Each structure stands twice: as C-alpha cells, then as structure tokens.
Chain A
C-alpha cells in the first residue's frame, strides 16, 4: 500500500513541478510584477555615495502621473501599538498644506499594520500592487518597519521610516531612515543618563526581537564609554502577559535596584510593565527611545495609572505637541482647516516625516522615477526644522539628532512636553 502511495506522490510531484514552472512564468510576464523575494543583491556598504541601482522593473514610475504622486503609509491602528486613529486623520496633512510638489499633488494611501510584521508586509504589498504607490512610509514600530523595508527593497520601492534597528537593513538600497537608529540613539541615551539624569545604576529591558539586538549593542557601548553600571539586562517576550510581566518586574527590582531603566518594547507592553514595576514599590526613572512609546496617549495611560512616579523621558524625532506652534505653525493651521480643532502629536509626528519626504520629492525633480528618487536622496542632506536634519552622505541611517520628551503628569490630560530639542549630544 505504502509503495503505491509513494509512487503516486512522486508522479504527482513531477507533473506538478512541470505544470507549476509553466504556470509561474506565464503569470509573471502577464502580471508584469517585479520578481521579489529576499535577493539582497551585492553588498554596497562602502559605495553609499556612488550612484546606486534599485532593481529596475517595469514599475519604476508606478504611482507617478503628470499630476499626481501616490504614496502609501502604514502604521498601527490596532494591536499592541498606540491604537491611534489620528494616524489616519493626519495621513496627508502636510501634502494638503503645500499643494503641489514639482507640479504634482501627493495622494496618500493608508493601511493599518496591526503592530504585526507580517501584517505590515501584507499592507505594504497591497499598497504597492493594488494602490500602485510610488513609495512607502512607515509610521512606527521596529519590527513592522524592518519587515516592510526588506519587502520594499525586494520589489524596488523606496521606503522611508523612522530609524529603528540596523542589522539586516544596512544593505537595503531603497530604505532611508528619517531619524537616528536605536543603535545610534543608544550612545546618546547613555550620555543623557550620565549627564542629564545623573544616574549611574542602569538597566535595560527589551522585547525579544532580532531587531533590538543592535539597539542593545549600541546602548551597551554607550554604557561602557560613560562608565555607567549596568545592573540588570532583561529580555521579555514581545507579547508577554500577566504573570510573565510580574515576574520580570520582580526580577528587575529584586537584586541591585537600578536608578534608570531603558525600556524598549511596544507601548502596550510598557504600560503593563511599568504598572508591574510600580506594584513592586520599585520607583525608577524611565529613559528610552522610540516613536510610539513617546505618544501622548501613552503618557495619559501611564499617568492615569500613576505608573511612573520616578518620571519618564523618551527620545523622539519630533517635539512635544505644545511646541508645534513655534516649530512649524503651519501644522496646527492646516489641521484646523482640514479637521477643525487642534491636532495631536501623532499627526504632528507624521507631519514631520512627510515634510522631510516632501523635501526629498522636491529634490528628485519633475522627472520622477524610483531610480531618480533614490539617487536624489542618496548622499544628500535635508533640513526641515521639524525633524532633526538628516545626512545620507555616510549611510542610509541619516539621523543626526533627537528631541527629548518628558511625561508631564500634572497636565490635564497628561502629555509629553519637550525637555530639550535638536540635541546631537548631551
């Protein structure tokens, strides 16, 4: 019996392979989609300033017409992220305010990435294949950004997002970080802890993802240079819950109590973790990096639960919302015109990213192809005064500075206020 089955299987596999081959080729040519996959191409780390080639498919000018540029934004609306609807409300505010760039309007598509890397890839794939966007923008979340950056590079679509990890992204030709990576920020964070917070006993608690490994490396390097004392170094599962978080909190506060703790995890996880640490009567000063964790809804939740009596500061590419009026008055004016009332910090962050993108599109000129765009950005410096300047002359991780946001629980509702802005060292 088993022999008959195996013969059948082998036969079918052979037939299947033959048919499949024909099928695949046929559809690929008909559909005209670029062949993707993880073919990372030759390593071009050294040659960053030279002209780079993006895999050139028939879609090099996809999403660009005489009058319009289509771009796609993905951000978490649901899941362990910040769950903020204003990601979508503010998705094209900047482009509405500037009207046209090189004679074209910018149309923004938006997809929820659910704070899940594979959903993010699906969202990016949908925007590239169905909405035919010219380029993609990531709105926050290290794993989602890394996953989409790799996908976008595979299909030759430019990808812009906040700086997150570096490992695995350093060889991508189409990804440009709009702010400092976690590894770069780790060095600054150690300086900040030493010179601003004046702490010596530090701890790092990070979610277990490959994308945080170099953040860890960067911070450890900073800790060493600043002669800080790393008393705890903990990883917790990305989706830890209940007892797992309590155990981690007990562990963190059980031995030598750290003064300053660097949390690197999803906002929802951080809320629970901070509460768990608080329940151990363990008061620490939180200091970290990351875009989503530095949002006001997170501050409101933290302060509401009285989870951060020791205070919390986070590096962010954009200032607190209160300073938006001085940094770039056009933001609140446009928000009032489009949505009425006053805009929040989420749309403000997106505004800054899109302002940077606007400058890049401007630089790419009227003859816009993906190839031209990447060449126009590569090696250049962009200054928008909303985000810190970016400098792509050395690498695609072009962030040069950070802003420091501090949770202010005395405000109603609580929010992050700017502690210091456009810092390149502490």
Chain B
C-alpha cells in the first residue's frame, strides 16, 4: 500500500492506547509498592469483563450494577492475589514472584473456562449506536471508545490527586521509596501493599469492562492475550515507576501498534503490531533504560 494512513491509526491508536494505559498504571502502582512485575494483570481485565457479563446476562442486573459487579471481581482478584500469593513470597527474589503471578494466571484461565465454558461471551457497550465521525479523519469512533479515553484522563487526574494530595497516597509513595523508614514512621506496609493491589485489580477491571464491548466479544484469557503485553511495554516505556509515564506510554504503544497494523499489510508482515512492540521495547531498554519519564524511585 502506497498511501500512508495517518488519521485512522491516530484515532484507533488513542482509543486502544487509553485502555492499555489503564492496565499499565495498575502495573506501575504494583511495581512501585511491591517491586513486582504482575503477570496476572491480564486476568484482572478478563475478570472485569466476565463479572459484567455475569451481572448483565446471568443475573439480569441493570447495566450499571453489572459493571459494578465487574469492578468488584477485579478488586477482589487484586486483594486475593496480594494476600494469598504476594505476601507469603514477600522477601523472595523478584523473578520467583513474577513466576508465581504467571502461575496464578495459568490457574485462572482454566478456572474461567470451567465456570464459563470455552466460548466467546458477548459484551454490550455502555452507550450503543454508531458513535460519531471524527472530524478531519475518515473514521468512526464509537461512544465506547470515547468513554475509554475519558476514563483514562479521569484516572490520570484522580491518581495525581491521590498521590499528590492525600495522606494515603503519600504513604504509598513513601513506602515504595523507603520501605524501612516508612515502617519506622508508622506506615503499615502490609496495608499499603494490599491497597495498591486492590487498586490495580480495579484499574484492570475498568479496562476490561470498557474494552470488551469495543471488540464485541471476549473469552477466557482475554486480557492476557490482548492487553498484557502492550501494557507492560507501555509501563516500561514510561519508566516503570511513573504513573504519568504509564499514561503516556499507553498512548504511545497504542499509536505505534495502530500505525504498524494499518500501514503494514498482513501479507507483508503478519502481526506487525507485535513486531513494532518488540522493536519499541528493545529501543527503550537499550537506549534509555529508565524510560521516558522514569527516575529511580
């Protein structure tokens, strides 16, 4: 293809990047508090979508309640993971904990299939209908995609306020930078860690609740296969310890993937988005290991 599309990938990239950013923020929070790469984050996303499906289609709840159930699933998943897996392994090597979270994902995926079946679940958008035509670009954006972008913005503002203005947020930051000193000044480490995991679970679920309707369907392991990698790359690109970095990283990864996908034909290079992600990740790690906005936390 000769023509290089700009407008279309721009719109697509921003809306997908926003969802990636939400999950990436969760990863960064956990990394800041526990110094752990959380490989079960993808399943927080799936559980969010799954909880909404259960509320909507099985329990026949009103849609807002169904979404609340989805968020509750994610929150609980975060809390339970911290309590049952992360805390017992607290002082063990990082790679060990990483493997444990991966093992947890490997446990959750079959459990999801046992409960829900190996099928695709339909996901309903919050606002149906066609959406709107993006000015200038010859492309449609659904209301759902717009909601995702707004949610990321809201989450960014909310977290900035939380870490900048609240005692709890400051406690989380302090814990991540000086665990021992924080304990000495009376911060309860376990509670802070539990809190961040819950928050990460919640953010993952938000992404799941919002993202699944964009593709109209999801299945067991959905988050792990579709969002996890992009979110990790986004977090690293952003610096791994920086919430604004994850925000920017998510959008960047979304854009790079969309540009690669739309402009590189699948006949030339299938899965161009994966290759673009790898190139981007390697470039950041080899050239600027601290990421775009990272500093030693």
In the complex they form, do A and B come into direct contact, defined as C-beta atoms under 8 angstroms apart? yes
Cβ-closest 5 pairs across A and B: A275-B216, A247-B261, A78-B118, A242-B226, A281-B140
A16 close to B (CB within 8 Å): no
Q: How far is the CA of A10 from the CA of B211 in the complex (A)?
A: 55
- Point out the residues of chain B lying under 8 angstroms from A279, CB to CB: 130-131, 140, 142, 214
A108 close to B (CB within 8 Å): no
Do most interface residues of chain B lie in helix, strand or loop, or is the interface mixed? mixed
Q: How far is the CA of A208 from the CA of B119 in the complex (A)?
A: 22
29 contacts between A and B (CB under 8 A): A79-B118, A83-B118, A208-B266, A208-B270, A235-B267, A237-B271, A241-B215, A241-B226, A242-B215, A242-B226, A243-B257, A243-B273, A244-B273, A245-B215, A246-B214, A247-B258, A248-B266, A250-B139, A251-B8, A251-B262, A254-B5, A254-B8, A272-B216, A272-B217, A279-B142, A280-B140, A281-B131, A301-B122, A307-B216
Q: How far is the CA of A243 from the CA of B14 in the complex (A)?
A: 12
Q: How far is the CA of A234 from the CA of B271 in the complex (A)?
A: 14
Q: How far is the CA of A127 from the CA of B191 in the complex (A)?
A: 57
Of the candidates B138, B211, B214, the one whose C-beta lies within 8 Å of that of A254 is B138
A236 close to B (CB within 8 Å): yes
Centre residue among A234, A242, A276 by max chain B CB count within 10 A: A242
Q: How far is the CA of A246 from the CA of B214 in the complex (A)?
A: 9
B139 touching A254, Cβ below 8 Å: yes
B215 touching A246, Cβ below 8 Å: yes
Of the candidates B118, B133, B261, B267, the one whose C-beta lies within 8 Å of that of A281 is B133
Which residues of chain B have a CB within 8 Å of any CB of chain A?
5, 8-9, 12, 16, 118-120, 122, 130-131, 133, 138-140, 142, 211, 214-217, 225-226, 257-258, 261-262, 266-267, 270-271, 273
Give the total of A residues in contact with B, Cβ under 8 Å: 31
- Point out the residues of chain B lying under 8 angstroms from A246, CB to CB: 12, 16, 214-215
Q: Which residue of B lies closest to A267 (CB)?
A: B120
B130 touching A281, Cβ below 8 Å: yes
Q: How far is the CA of A272 from the CA of B213 in the complex (A)?
A: 10
A235 touching B120, Cβ below 8 Å: no
- Point out the residues of chain B lying under 8 angstroms from A271, CB to CB: 120, 216-217
- Point out the residues of chain B lying under 8 angstroms from A208, CB to CB: 266-267, 270
- Point out the residues of chain A lying under 8 angstroms from B216, CB to CB: 271-272, 275-276, 305, 307
Q: How far is the CA of A237 from the CA of B216 in the complex (A)?
A: 18
